[in-house]
Structure 1
Amino acid sequence: MSDASERRNGGAVQRITATAFGPYQTAIVRIGFAATWLLFLLRELPNRHEMYGPQGPWSWEMGRRLISGNDAFTALMWSDSTLWFEVVYAAAVLSSALLLVGWRTRTMSALFMIGVLSLQNRSIFMGDGGDNVIHLMAIYLVVTRCGQVWSLDARRAARATEREHEARESGVPESEARVAGRTQRDRVGPLLWTVLGAALVIATFLNDTGWFILLLLWVLWVGQGLWWMANRRAPQGEPRILLDALANLAHNAGLLVIMAEVCLIYATAGWYKIQGSRWQDGTALYYPLKLDYFTPWPALSDLLASGGLMVLVLTYGTVVVQVAFPFTLFNRRVKNVLLVAMMLEHAGIAVLLGLPFFSLAMIAADAVFLPTAFLVWLGARVVRGRDRVFSRAPAVPEQRQESPEQPRTLVG
């Protein structure tokens, strides 16, 4: 019995370290949050100076006093010049776009995190609730391998596999074929690593708060260097296997934290609502529909607010869905039904209350629980639609990719 238990435990550890779970879920979360932040930055481009710039109502000196007290990280505290602000804002936009398409995903996720933290911690009173979710997820995404699918990195890896296969077919020994496929000369990666390393050295001297984030960036930078060396010198050696296992372990831990964070958000929101008298009597939804600030479509808001039964159903339904969702993860069908209900709820909030970026952030967070089969189907439909738009030859029917089996109680 003891031996059987040890074998099971050993198999579980091996699976956790040998497999990066949820490749499609982490990819859709990456795309969702990168797109949300990018759209927000582009929409606020004309207002960026008033929101986050040194000439805004929340002055640079006020921001510096706050940062010195809460030890938050923001690159905008390194200088109060307008030029530096423009550089940081442009870098935030660029990193969001590159993370969206999955180019050098590990590096872009770190730069994405820097952009999010720099702007949000500069002016903490800007936001609608969705900024808190983006803030947290930007940190969690750094440790995930969110570019395994639906990314330019995945396409580059697929091409390396094709080169390896071609080398094998040409009669090259298997060990040399692996080297030919995996060690294609990469000039961009080392150059990017060197430039960012120099920037990190300068940032270390300029920074006086947020040391945890700076330490995380140093760990990532050193890890990327070790990864490149191991992949270059010994693609199948023990150092590469060890680094791969550590990366998978960090990815799986990050994925679990993202899932737990989403459950925590809904659980706390639902239980706090239960304690409110307006949620108890079923009238809570009525009041925001009558506030000018939250009524981009007054006629539609008035129409919904005039239906007492509809207001009652939606108010109670919101509480029930949020409280019940964490408990439905053990039942795949019920979980999927509530997941659709929550996404529709956030879509309604975006339209009725005029909070599109809050809704996009929450939908992107919810997407971590989408079934793998649905995401594979969705990806195939997107590829076919892309091919039709660009008038390409009909795409070859995509083979269903074997993805790691997801924990039934979490991702199913």
Structure 2
Amino acid sequence: MNRIARPVTHGIARVTEAALGPYQTAVVRIGFAATWLLFLLREFPHRQEMYGPDGPWSWDLARQLVATNHAFTVLMWSDSRVWFEAVYLLAMLSSVLLLVGWRTRTMSVLFMVGVLSLQNRSVFLGDGGDNVIHLMAIYLVFTRCGQVWSLDERRARRARAACARGERPRPDRVGPALWGALGFALALAAGADRMSSGWLTLFWGLWAMQGLWWYLGRRALHAEPRLLLDVVANLVHSAALLVIMAEACLIYSTAGWYKVQGSRWQDGTAVYYPLHLDYFSPWPALSDLLSSHGVIVLLVTYGTVAAQVAFPFTLLNRRVKNVLLAFLMTEHVVIAVVLGLPFFSLAMIAADAVFLPTSFLRRLGGRVARVCGRPAAARAHRTPPAPRGQQPPTGEAAGHTQVGSRA
């Protein structure tokens, strides 16, 4: 009986005591924030035609569709050009701040708002990569994706170091001010009846839990409630991480099995045809060179199907999984160059990053830190987290990741 209870107890303790996969979720955060930011920057000259008042999909048509499918987008609050520019700039700013990990709890929510608002404004512009970003923007809200490689982590580390030296950390004023400003904006939106009851409940819940987390973090007498919030946040984080992994497996498995049913994939010629489409040929000479070799087309066609179908099953073996993961990432790099789909490929690589080994990510973080000339950062990425139950010195500084607000 003890042989059964011991692994179960160990598993429960591992899930509740700390957030699983801190490096993997950090890479997913950085990857999707960078992908969305680069997309917004590239389409900045065309933003009015794609999502703004000058687009063929007019504001009235978008409002009728949103009234039918109940999709969330703040661009339906006003047809003003100024409002559109403000939302577009907010989407870019939240992407930058989420990328560097500044107030990740808040920025993950604003990042989701920016992604949903723009994509749901013009639903016919998206492709597979946009769908992945759409889903992952929602999942990231419930993860503790700022524990490593973030400004929040650096701020919390400095606060702990100050406490270790017997110094009093500087009080956090930015966090409460940001929390109050967003609460005021949310109250205005609620008073103007701009959001459905479901979205209002979600945003008010996140806002209230964020305030509770900050308050308990400043009061040493509330150690047990704070610890309970930490346990709940870790459970929610683990559930969201599991959903992200399942989503990536579902994408590959469904794509692979649908390809199996296609006659062009069965005879090994499917890859040949997109290489001769003008829309997918940014480098015609390169496309012609690849398509002129029948053996290469055959191997790539069958290899793609085999890799996508087999990927979910390779998770049972770490070495095979890592080899196939490297193959899929390389394939996406080739797709980005040869077919001219950089943002689709970046989104898929960011989703695949959730399966990267922790040891590889730690070495990668150390090398990046050394290249940037920051040996202290290279050491910091190996710094163990604070012991469970230890009270952080400040609310926002120590609660540096998606925490109680995810409950």
Contact 1:72–1:209 (8 Å) recurs in 2: no
- Distance change in 2, residues 1:327/1:109 (3 Å): same
- Distance change in 2, residues 1:203/1:357 (3 Å): same
1:319 aligns with 2:319: no
Question: CA separation in 2, counterparts of 1:19 and 1:298?
Answer: 50
Equivalent residue letter for 1:187: R
Question: CA separation in 2, counterparts of 1:396 and 1:117?
Answer: 34
Question: CA separation in 2, counterparts of 1:233 and 1:215?
Answer: 27
Other-structure match for 2:50: 51
Other-structure match for 1:128: 127
Other-structure match for 2:148: 149
> 173, 192, 215: which is aligned to 2:178?
192
SS, match of residue 71 in structure 2: coil
Contact 1:72–1:210 (8 Å) recurs in 2: no
**What aligned pairs does 1:322-337 form with structure 2 within 5 A after superposition?**
322-337=308-323
Cα shift at 1:7: 5.2
Other-structure match for 1:86: 85
Cα shift at 1:403: 7.6
Deviations 1:181-228 (A, max 9, x none): 6xx411000000000001111222445555444332221111100000
Question: CA separation in 2, counterparts of 1:148 and 1:308?
Answer: 48
Contact 1:71–1:209 (8 Å) recurs in 2: no
> 326, 330, 340: which is aligned to 1:344?
330
Equivalent residue letter for 2:255: A
Cα shift at 1:9: 3.4
Question: CA separation in 2, counterparts of 1:260 and 1:281?
Answer: 30
How much identity, in percent, do the aligned residues show?
67
Contact 1:289–1:301 (8 Å) recurs in 2: yes
Cα shift at 1:370: 0.4
Question: CA separation in 1, counterparts of 2:333 and 2:76?
Answer: 36
Question: CA separation in 2, counterparts of 1:162 and 1:306?
Answer: 62
Deviations 1:157-176 (A, max 9, x none): 10011012111xxxxxxxxx
- Distance change in 2, residues 1:298/1:323 (3 Å): same
Structure showing greater relative contact order (alpha-carbon pairs closer than 8 Å, 6 or more residues apart) = 2
Contact 1:130–1:357 (8 Å) recurs in 2: yes
Other-structure match for 2:379: 398
Question: CA separation in 2, counterparts of 1:5 and 1:396?
Answer: 41
Equivalent residue letter for 1:255: L
Contact 1:234–1:240 (8 Å) recurs in 2: no
Deviations 1:127-148 (A, max 9, x none): 2310000000000000101000
Cα shift at 1:398: 2.7
Contact 1:74–1:210 (8 Å) recurs in 2: no
Cα shift at 1:236: 6.2
Equivalent residue letter for 2:117: S
- Distance change in 2, residues 1:236/1:284 (3 Å): same
**What aligned pairs does 1:98-117 form with structure 2 within 5 A after superposition?**
98-117=97-116
1:250 aligns with 2:236: yes
Question: CA separation in 2, counterparts of 1:320 and 1:148?
Answer: 36
Equivalent residue letter for 1:279: W
- Distance change in 2, residues 1:235/1:80 (3 Å): farther
Unaligned runs of 5+ in 1: 168-176, 405-412
Cα shift at 1:44: 0.4
Contact 1:283–1:315 (8 Å) recurs in 2: yes
SS, match of residue 125 in structure 1: helix
Cα shift at 1:396: 8.4
**What aligned pairs does 1:16-55 form with structure 2 within 5 A after superposition?**
16-55=15-54
Contact 1:128–1:355 (8 Å) recurs in 2: no
SS, match of residue 296 in structure 1: coil
- Distance change in 2, residues 1:304/1:4 (3 Å): closer
- Distance change in 2, residues 1:284/1:205 (3 Å): farther
Question: CA separation in 2, counterparts of 1:202 and 1:236?
Answer: 32
Contact 2:275–2:291 (8 Å) recurs in 1: yes
Other-structure match for 2:394: none
Contact 1:137–1:258 (8 Å) recurs in 2: yes
Question: CA separation in 2, counterparts of 1:396 and 1:214?
Answer: 39
1:370 aligns with 2:356: yes
Other-structure match for 1:287: 273
TM-score with structure 1 setting the length:
0.90
Question: CA separation in 2, counterparts of 1:301 and 1:8?
Answer: 53
Question: CA separation in 2, counterparts of 1:19 and 1:396?
Answer: 22
1:68 aligns with 2:49: no
- Distance change in 2, residues 1:262/1:213 (3 Å): farther
> 214, 218, 223: which is aligned to 1:232?
218
Question: CA separation in 2, counterparts of 1:21 and 1:367?
Answer: 14
Deviations 1:292-343 (A, max 9, x none): 0100000000000111010000000000000000000010000000000000
Question: CA separation in 1, counterparts of 2:270 and 2:307?
Answer: 15
TM-score with structure 2 setting the length:
0.91
Contact 2:369–2:378 (8 Å) recurs in 1: no
SS, match of residue 124 in structure 2: coil
Equivalent residue letter for 2:322: N
Equivalent residue letter for 1:286: Y
Question: CA separation in 2, counterparts of 1:134 and 1:380?
Answer: 28
Equivalent residue letter for 2:72: F
Question: CA separation in 2, counterparts of 1:205 and 1:277?
Answer: 56
Cα shift at 1:19: 1.1
Question: CA separation in 1, counterparts of 2:143 and 2:192?
Answer: 28
Matched length? 385
Question: CA separation in 2, counterparts of 1:206 and 1:269?
Answer: 43
Q: CA RMSD in A?
A: 1.8
Contact 1:329–1:335 (8 Å) recurs in 2: yes
Question: CA separation in 1, counterparts of 2:362 and 2:7?
Answer: 30
Contact 2:366–2:379 (8 Å) recurs in 1: yes
Unaligned runs of 5+ in 2: 387-407
